[in-house]
């Protein structure tokens, strides 16, 4: 059984929307495919029927796993987050001390990571190197290109 996982309100909504789509759209579609394949006659040699039944089994497994995830999910109350140090859901502005470039990331649960939106996983090397640090602290972070030193400029929610 999976343990408790933390999500933002946005992350929980995404999970619930996906579950709703699987139950209200995908499940009826597979049921129709099974019915159509069944209407074609002999089930012992009906590849369409077998494929539809297999797809149904995989869908039901996906639905049950998603339901379990939602049951075990906890929403982080962003209004109560401490902004004196870097934590999960912190928005962090950092400066690369090698080239003076400034980047801003939000540290999110692994399942919500999206680099295009500057959301990095709490388990990523950069996030791990920043966690617990305060404004003005420096962090040496090992990345594939070597070790980069960052300075924490700002921490917000």
78-156: which CATH topology? Chitinase A; domain 3 (3.10.50)
User: Which is higher by pLDDT, 70 or 5?
Assistant: 70
Residue 79 has a pLDDT of: 66
Average pLDDT score over residue span 140-154 = 89
Q: How far apart are CA 32 and CA 3, in angstroms?
A: 36
What is the phi-psi region of residue 37: left when phi exceeds 0, alpha when psi lies from -120 to 50, beta otherwise?
A: alpha
**Domain 5-75 classification at class level:** mainly alpha
Q: Write out the residue limits of the CATH 1.10.287.180 domain(s) in the chain.
A: 5-75
Q: Write out the residue limits of the CATH 3.10.50.30 domain(s) in the chain.
A: 78-156
Backbone angles phi, psi at 6, to 5 degrees: -100, 140
User: Which is higher by pLDDT, 7 or 1?
Assistant: 7
Res. 1 pLDDT band, cuts 50 70 90: very low
What percent of the chain is modeled with pLDDT above 90? 43
What percent of the chain is modeled with pLDDT above 70? 92
Asked if residue 89 lies in contact with residue 81, where contact means CB atoms within 8 angstroms, the answer is yes
Res. 80 pLDDT band, cuts 50 70 90: low
Average pLDDT score over residue span 21-35 = 93
b/e 114-150 (16+ beta carbons within 10 angstroms → b): eeeeebbbbebebbebbbebeeeeebebeeeeeebeb
b/e 71-88 (16+ beta carbons within 10 angstroms → b): eebeebeeeeeeeebbbb
Write out 103-135 in H/E/C secondary structure: EEEEEECHHHCEHHHCEEECCCHHHHHHCCCCC
* Segment (H or E) for 153: strand 146-156
Taking 50 as the threshold, does the pLDDT of residue 87 lie above it? Answer: yes
Residue 119 has a pLDDT of: 92
Residue 139 has a pLDDT of: 92
Average pLDDT score over residue span 35-46 = 78
Average pLDDT score over residue span 147-155 = 91
């Amino acid at each position: 059984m999976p343990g408790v996982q933390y999500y933002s309100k946005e992350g929980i909504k995404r999970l619930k929307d996906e579950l709703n789509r699987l139950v209200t759209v995908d499940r009826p579609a597979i049921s129709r495919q099974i019915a159509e394949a069944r209407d074609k006659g002999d089930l012992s040699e009906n590849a369409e029927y077998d494929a539809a039944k297999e797809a149904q089994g995989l869908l039901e497994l996906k639905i049950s796993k998603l339901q379990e995830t939602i049951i075990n999910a906890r929403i982080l109350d962003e209004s109560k987050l401490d902004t004196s140090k870097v934590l999960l859901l912190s928005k962090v502005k950092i400066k690369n001390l090698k080239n003076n470039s400034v980047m801003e990331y939000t540290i999110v649960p692994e399942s919500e990571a999206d680099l295009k939106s500057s959301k990095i996983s709490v388990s990523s090397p950069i996030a791990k190197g920043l966690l617990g640090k305060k404004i003005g602290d420096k962090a040496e972070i090992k990345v594939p290109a070597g070790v980069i030193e960052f300075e924490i400029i700002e921490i917000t929610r």
